Structure 1
Amino acid sequence: MDKILSIAPGRTCLFGDHQDYLGLPIIACTINRHITLMAVKNNKDYFFLDKPDIKIKRKIYFKNDIILPEKADFFLSTLQVLKRYGCIPNCGYDIKITGTIPINAGTSSSSAVVVAWVQFLLKAFGPQELLSPKSIAQIAFESEVLEYNFPGGKMDQFSISLGNIIYLETGHDFLVDVINSPLDGLIIAESGVKKDTIGLLKTLKENSWKAIKEVEKQIPNFSINDAKIEDLNMYFDCLTDDLKPYFEAALGNYDVTKKALHEFKKETLNLEKIGSLMNLHHHYLKNLLKITVPKIDDMIDAALKAGALGAKIVGSGGGGSIVVLSKKENEQQILDAILATGAKDAYAVSVDRGANVHFVNHF
């Protein structure tokens, strides 16, 4: 077959922002916004990439030695990682990549592109046994994070590959649980404020780990995975004032995520309870990690005043987007209230299936 269609959804984080780089769990879900990669065999020795949404075209000669530039190039890093897995391109493709996922908005457009690229390459060149959601996610994670020694975690790649709502233990021996509970009433709102993902993540990760290591030095057998929020004052005795907010945020967000998982495992979801946990999660992100900006604060305040059950910033912070949980009957008034703050966009979304790839007879 000469034509391949690879699709990857965006994602939003419901619980666990700034937790995955600490090896702590997250709860995230895919949304019905997508990256679409359409590939047609060209029988050349290169991939011709056309990204009309951002007006970029390029050729990648796959027979050349891969030299990664200083600025991240995930198309090349993926080829390098996949080569180690035995995926060796032997024919070129004309590739068009389009998307409905907002760029630089905290909904993982870049990770969706990487997942779609990984899927395409494996479908075209094998090994076919790696075309499973977990394998695709792991390869995308290695290509996007490990290959560049970036500070990110595994949430984006695994959420996008597996789909639905997932609970992900992000430590070395990570466990993933797909939650199939229907979750209605989700809203995504874009601030339009650009963010410095890598720089912000690096600072927060370093300070959070520094705080955890200080506690480990002073409390025998301490593990953040076993720590309890009720013992916070005991842990504070080990820390200087500048590190306390990072530790409290790590422990508080961990506690919130565990409580949220308990709610998601119930037969009937209590949206009010889940919303209140989202609000508590946002408290830690805003007041302790201080990752919000005035536009984000205004959007969240407006959503809650208009009847939202819960609202929080998504992703690394410093801009980007928020996710809101509402009852269906309040959806439009919440959207109107958010847009009235000057938000770039706001729209209802639904939980989506995971990434997928297949040969096609026509486009």
Structure 2
Amino acid sequence: MRVVEVFRAAYGSDPAGVWHAPGRVNLIGEHTDYNDGLVLPFAVPWGVTAAVSPRPDGVVRLASVQAPGEEQVVEDLDQTRGWARYPAGVVWALRRAGHPVGGADIVIDGDVPRGAGLSSSAALEVATALAFDDLYGLALPRMELAKIAQRAENDFVGMPCGIMDQAASALSEEGRALFLDCRSLGSRAVPLDLAAHGLRLLIINTGVHHELADGQYARRRQDCENAAKRLGVPALRDVTDLAGALARLSGDERKRTQHVVTENHRVEAVIGLLRAGAVREIGALLNASHLSLRDQFEVSCPELDVAVEAAVRGGARGARMTGGGFGGSAIALVPEERLPAVRDEVLRAYEARGWAAPAFLEATPAPGARRLR
């Protein structure tokens, strides 16, 4: 195992264990998690592997297979930089929560496609959290580990994400999507056997990332909080009279509210269709989700829009951007026999605009975080 070999070379011994956490793709339920809403992600076959051994001195040593020669040795976690802030943030969050964790030697290896919006950061956090949970005998529930990982990203790294990515990485099951209520944190596994219905979920990785994304993400969250306050509800999840709410709002707050409320309804509708075995029919809801994210939440970009439109033109049952937006990936629900046609149509559309070709991945629901050895 590559991560073990690098650990041995870096630290002169074998790791105490190796843990893996997957990235995720979100089938539907975008920008609803931090509005106490509903989401339906699943784990993907790619993720982050962490080889870890405990240290009694509190020092954290960090290395990455993908960043040779950039090892960091830290006594003060605030001094970490770059990718290392994510695992360091987990150690910080565990200590802030009162858990008796010491230091560690850590080597990270990841195969989540870069820039795809498949949540490699959450995978890195959850792999670290699970390793520390095992090594220091914490026996924390999986959702508590997800919350620790979220706190690391919110309060240490400074990204105001919701709980979805970390929960999907920690709790997902093979062959199933994760239906998560982001208020109660109740969840249940939903069977998602696309192949049995002659379907594939194609990830179209645009390979682009527009740099305005981080600040715009925080702004969208603030828009939602402002709208909820104006409406006198704890969160946009609580809006039950959408027409009445929209009549009281204007501008960005009105648009954000319309997206969040209707997106929650779309999640519930997809669950109903999956239960009924009408898997092919969820495509229309994916299309509606993309239009709402493009026009009401305003987090799409030309590369995502073109990918979605071309995929549908090529025969996909439905398609939408997935993840935070401003780049990353789109997903398309494609009949198996239409896969070549969908790929060709997207490639032609990109070539016609002089854009670099996107990458294509087929995603099946993978297991959540686990110890490998």
Q: TM-score, normalised by structure 1?
A: 0.86
Alignment of 1:150-229 (within 5 A): 150-164=159-173, 165-171=177-183, 173-184=184-195, 185-195=200-210, 196-216=212-232, 224-228=236-240
Structure 1 match to 2:43? 30
**For residues 189-246 of structure 1, what are the alpha-carbon distances to aligned partners after superposition, in whole Å with 9 as ceiling and x for unaligned?**
1111114443121111111222232223xxxx79743534xx4332222112443212
- Aligned partner letter, 2:247: D
Match of 1:312 among 310, 320, 333: 320
Q: CA deviation at 1:47?
A: 4.2
Residue 75 in 1 paired to residue 99 in 2? Answer: no
Structure 1 match to 2:119? 108
- Taking the aligned partners of 2:203 and 2:145, their CA distance within structure 1 comes to 26
Contact 2:179 2:189 in 1 (8 A): yes
Match of 1:262 among 254, 272, 293: 272
Q: What is the root-mean-square deviation in Å for CA atoms of aligned residues?
A: 2.6
- Taking the aligned partners of 1:13 and 1:27, their CA distance within structure 2 comes to 6
- Taking the aligned partners of 1:142 and 1:41, their CA distance within structure 2 comes to 22
- Taking the aligned partners of 1:237 and 1:67, their CA distance within structure 2 comes to 46
- Aligned partner letter, 1:53: Q
Contact 1:52 1:98 in 2 (8 A): yes
Structure 2 match to 1:244? 254
Identical residues among aligned pairs (%): 22
- Aligned partner letter, 1:327: P
Q: CA deviation at 1:22?
A: 0.8
- Aligned partner letter, 2:216: L
- Taking the aligned partners of 2:204 and 2:185, their CA distance within structure 1 comes to 30
Tell me: CA distance 1:23–1:189, structure 2 relative to 1, closer, same or farther (3 Å). same
Tell me: CA distance 1:150–1:295, structure 2 relative to 1, closer, same or farther (3 Å). closer
- Aligned partner letter, 1:156: D
Q: Gaps spanning 5+ residues in structure 1: where?
A: none
Contact 2:321 2:330 in 1 (8 A): yes
- When you count helix as a share of all residues, which structure comes out higher? 2
Aligned residues: 344
Q: Bigger shift: 206-215 or 81-90? A: 81-90
- Taking the aligned partners of 1:265 and 1:299, their CA distance within structure 2 comes to 29
**For residues 19-68 of structure 1, what are the alpha-carbon distances to aligned partners after superposition, in whole Å with 9 as ceiling and x for unaligned?**
1111111111111112122236799874443223244622334xx35436
Residue 143 in 1 paired to residue 157 in 2? Answer: no
Q: Gaps spanning 5+ residues in structure 2: where?
A: 1-13, 351-355
Q: CA deviation at 1:7?
A: 0.7
Alignment of 1:91-106 (within 5 A): 92-93=104-105, 95-106=106-117
Q: Equivalent residue of 1:57, what SS?
A: coil
